[in-house]
Structure formats: C-alpha cells, structure tokens
Structure 1
Amino acid sequence: MDQTRLRELLEKLASDRITAEELHRLMQAVQDDTYTEELDQALRRFQDLPIIPHLDDQEQSLKSYQQITSDKRFLQARKQKRLYLTWVAASLALILVGALLYQRLSSPREHLRNAFTTTWTAPLGEQRQIELPDGTSVWLNAGSRLDIPRNYNDNDRRVVLAGEAYFDVQSNKQKPFTVETGSLITKVLGTAFNINSFDASHIAVTVRQGKIAVQHQAETVSLLTANQQLIYNVHTNHKQVHDVNATAMIAWIHQRLRFDNISMADAGKALERWSNKTFIYRNDAIRGCHFTVSFHEGENLREMLNVISALNNFKYEIKNDTVYLDGNGCE
C-alpha cells in the first residue's frame, strides 16, 4: 500500500466514507511493519487532508497534530519500531477524533455533516427526484439514500448510494460520474442506468442507454451496454450478466411496479417499501411463490394484492400498518 492509498483511506475515515473493508485494510497497515515509512509520511502530511480546512478552527487541529509529533515520547518511539507503530495508531486516532470532536463541540452536529456531504433520502412509501449541480437527474426509490460530497463536480462527480436509484447522467468526458454502492463502483461518462442494492447479498446494475464500467477493488468486474444487467454477489464475488428489458426494469420511476418471475418474499419487501407497511406471513410457504405481473400508475396496495393473492392462492388482511398473508400458497 503506497502513501497515496494511505492518504485516500485517511480522507475516507475522516469524512465518514470508509467501508468496513477499507477500514480493515487501514488498520492492517497501521499494525504492519512494512508500511512504517509510508504511515510516517502520511501522518506528517495529515494537515493537508481536505477535512482540515473545513473545520471552524484550522489552527486548533494543527496544534493537536504538532503537539503529538513534537512529543519526546513520539520522537523516541520512532527509534523503536513497536512503540513507534503504537504511537502512529494513537496519533492517527487522536488527530482524527480530536479534530472532528472539536468541530462537534464548536458547532451544531448537522453543520459538521453538511460540511462533508449533502444527503438526500426517500422515506418508505415515497420516491424522490433530484437534480444534481451538473444537470444529472436522479430518481431515489422508497427507503433509499444518496450522499453527495461537498466537492462534487469540482474534479469529478462521485456519489454514494444505499438502496435503489435511477441515474440519467449529464455527459462530461472530463469528469466521469461514479456511484459507490457498498464495495462496487460504477463509472460512466454520460448514460442512464439503475442500481439496486436493497438485497444485502446482491447488487443489480442495469443499463438503459450508453455504456458503464463496474469495478470492485479497482478491478473491472463487467462492462455493460444498453439492456444489460449485472447481478453481483458481494459475499462470493460471483457475477451474472444477462439481457433484460431495461425500460421495464425502471418502471418504478413512473410509479409503476413490475414483478418478473419474482418470489413473494422479494415482492413483499418491495411492496413494504412502496406502501410503508409491514408484511406478516402466517404461512411461510407463501414466501416461495413465484409470479410475473405489472401494475400501472395509480393502482393502490389493495388492488395489487387482489391480483397477487389470486395468482398465488393466499388471502390477505390489512390492519393499520400491517398486511397479514395467510392460506395454502402455491404449494
């Protein structure tokens, strides 16, 4: 791991964008004798990180850094590798925590968050359309979140997605558009595509037009063109690419729901997000029923369940915010 990568991980840690995998790598580097020199350089240049100029008092954070690195114990520890590594880890933690804590105490917590990102959310039962500063349009599905860094569109265009969103990206060859979804990174110049990460074990990337590259740990997983979909298993790294009707796959942005050979368990999750209700299965056999059906804009939950229950041989009851499913199911 070189100094550039270390600094990148420090930036992500400081701005609360680091993934569990990246944090594990950073901690390994802190404890590994191999990276002693790189950590020393990265630590000594920590004051150059973008997070520092945005603190209310830059001198306060730099003072913390200088106190640590000028401490006699720190200088002595450099001569003893084991103690030195301990001090590197401690210094890193003190600088990060101290700088962030200082701003938390000196300004509202929400101000700290907004200094780094703008966060858009779509509550359960709702969808949201967003226009980014560069003209890119984003549709957030119910129960989703999109983080936009403060430096968006400065040198590049990077966003972080949790949930599902459809992107219609404004073309700009000088500034690629990047979506981080868990451990996957989707890069484009100008195109329209959908990412679904609701499933904890799989991420689905679907292209409606244009071409995109999907990466994992800086390695290209797949190149996708119009009407292609990637299903990526985040646990096994197994991938599947197949042709789809992309227009049908993104029907949700027009308030239409389409279920294509889907299990009732997965359809139920989608309906829970769409309706903001909880589904209770009184017979687990119902969960395994598969079906295909489309619903148009304006159809309500009861109308949808009338069709789905008839297809899968079950009955339903809606009580307040809960939907109870009972019956023999498709067995």
Structure 2
Amino acid sequence: MKTTDRNRTVRSGFLAACCAVALVAGCSSTDADSDPAPDQAASSNEVTIAVTPTTTTVVDPGAEPRRVLAFDTADSDEQTVDLTTTSTVSQQIDNGAPQDFSSPDLTVPLSASTSETVPDDDAATGATRSVELTIGAATSPDEGLTDALAASEGSTARLASTDSGAITALHITPADAALDTARAAIERSLNAAVYRSVDFPDAEVGVGAVWTVDQQVLSGITLNQRSTVTLRALDGDRATLDVAITQTPESSTWNLPDNAGTLNIATYTFTGSGTLEIDLTRPLPVGGSITAGGEQMYTDPDSTTVLRQTVGDSIGWAAR
C-alpha cells in the first residue's frame, strides 16, 4: 500500500471513531458521554453533571387572562412516570457502507418528590428546590441491556431546579451493584430529560403565548439550542406546551479532543418538535413527547475525506 493511501485509511478510521463517540452521545442533545466530565464525590458514588444555563425571552404574551406560571410542588404527593428515550446515529465515510452507532431504546420508571431543602452547591446555581428521583426497573428492547439494568434498580438522582422549571444541575447516585453499561445508559436518559425540559418565563402569559429558551449544548461541538414554546392550552395548573427545537453549531470548525486536529463542519441541521403536558403541582412532565433529528457533514481539512451522519432522538413521558 502506498504511504499516502495508508495515511488516508488511518485518518478515515480515526474520523470514524472520533465522530461516532462524540455524536452518539451528542446527537440527541443529551450529551452524557461528551459533556463536561462529571465530578465524582469523594465520600460517595454520586456523580454531578453540570447543566448549562438557559435564557428565556417572551415573544408574545398571549391572550388575557395572563399569569406568571411557576411550579408549586411542595405539597404534592409522590409522582410516578415512565421516561422513554431513543437515539439513532447512522454514519458514512466517503462512499463506504453506512454504519449504525445507535444506542438502545430505554424506558426508566421514576418516582419523584420535591424538597425545598437545597444543598449549597445547588443553591449557588440559582436552584430553589430539589427534585428527588428513585429509579425503578428500567427496560430496553435490547435484552442484554435489560439484564444489565437489573442491578440499577433503586438508584437515585436529584435535579436542582428553579420555580420556573429551569434545571441547573443533575446528580446521580447509582446503586452499589450497578454495572457500567447500565449506569451510562441511565445517565444518557436523564440527561436527555434535562435538555428537553422547558422553563417558563417570569412574566405573565396567557393561552397563545410564545417564548424562547436558549441554551448551549456541549457535545464535543458547542451547539446553540433554541426551544420555541407555545402555550397551547391552560386549565388551572395544567399546561399544554408545543415545543419546536433547533440546534446550530457555534463555530464552523470542530476542534477535536486532545489536540487531535480539526474538522470542518460543512453542513449541520437538527430540528425537532413535540408537545409536553405539564402540571405545575408535579415536578416532572405528566405526558407528551418530543422527536428531533437532522443530518451533518464533516470534512477533513487535510484530505478529501467526508463524513456524513444522520441522527435522531426522541423523549417521551407517561404517567403511571
């Protein structure tokens, strides 16, 4: 094999490995594998995943009557819901055969309660309440993953949150016997919930109101995510929200980890939509789903190698 051909083969293999790792984690905006590294607590196995801040802007206040929508869950009973997440990634280098780097679908039963006692580190992020989660017997169509998940039953998590619903931190404490594959899958699912959550503006709004929620998503590439939220219906404390999502890369260049070089982002599309059912007396959505997807193309500045990806994800909530 000529030296140039060999170098191109090695570079293509490197691109495949690098992009697959980054975008399998990042394609759904969940980014659990390539977010800033979680902090491992010294005295326990709790993992803390920082969450990027959100900026909420009212576009249209909607019809009268209007009111400030805020969560008040202090007196609510324990909430039980199923969180279901999916993530697909198809990748192709040049004219090679497409490769599937999708993650198995996952359904995680959650029991949630709210505490107004906020640890100091969470209070520093602006959180005013803690949502305590207990993880039940998670399942997947992948039998191997379901088997691995068995030992994770009883794991716990905590969401640091504001009264407007903005999540400022995610803490996960796996069960002692939890396997690494199951821990990673649950982290991805909970992180998906964080980056598909919606917070309310601090202004008064009525039916028909529209607001945007801007947030950066870190997935190897820094992405600017905008969620456009429409208050379709409001019945007491029950709100029906239509959500449209777009992501755009902050830069046209991807600086690979560990000074491994750069890739040009030739094209990047990622959009989604769905509906969430929110009960302001409950800490988690009581129903609804959001589905998103797109296509990306990356080029190697030092060769003619082109990498294309088609990605998709969904998140769903169902009350139990």
Report the TM-score, using the length of structure 1 for normalisation.
0.23
- Return the structure number with greater strand share: 2
Q: Which has the higher helix share?
A: 1
TM-score normalised per structure 2: 0.23
Greater radius of gyration (CA): 1
Higher relative contact order at CA 8 Å, sep ≥6: structure 1 or structure 2?
A: 2
